[in-house]
Structure 1
């Protein structure tokens, strides 16, 4: 209990912190034994009442938002697959308009012409097969002759055989330099094509 005689010696104006105390703590007098704890005012307002929302409405909103995002993703993927147009490879519009006039009808071939073409194709296929077989036989003969020569060399001298099968390091790596089909032009900045950027901008 507090000493009432001590409390009467102090007025309300003399109540001040004498020493460093924790927040919201004021002492009476010079001793730290007499302390009063005063709570600071709380500025608050009553909490707003939450509105009850139907779960079906919330689910419908989430579905619409998800569908919208998926649609944007599909649109971006579709635009990503489109290549940049090249003016040199596009057909002029006036030629497309004259396509009906420029298109030639397919000629009707007679039975004799069809038979002649079929025989010609068979002769060409037979010629190409004979050419392929002759090329393979020639490669086989060359490889067999090389194998026989190496075998004879191995019988004569094993050192010469090892030197013969060693790769020629002067040919590896092989590099050449010479004129190209289109010589480069110094300081030429190749154009990137003319196009209009029509891609949509999406805000984050």
Structure 2
């Protein structure tokens, strides 16, 4: 049997010597190698040194030109339309100036006192809010403890979330289902991006 397989593999290899070969490692394992097609290597063309030098010179000149252009526009920033002031406003700048009257010493002292009083009032209000919230939390905790001692069922009912506290009602789907067979049209796109060179 082994001699039969080895002779058949020799026949196959002689048939496919140009493209593939067939060999076996064991009697029940046949394997074909991949095709090994090759073509001759292309000869490198010998370029004229003068032509090569001209190409390099052209490339260097183009790079130098681009560097010069970049250096010219290095100090220029992209204009922002929202920050540009129109020439009408620039011309009427003197008319738009507002004269702020200088406050007297008494008025400045009065305003500072008012600001200080307002700050104290808001600080006291903020502290009082925290105290009221803390008192409410402590009172509810005490009430729950006493309710648990009185009745376990009422305590369990009391600690349940009240879903009616903030009522929410929603009707129907929030998004419509897709329409079968509908093909959306492609919209027109206009590129209005400004380009600066």
Q: TM-score, normalised by structure 1?
A: 0.44
Larger Rg: 1
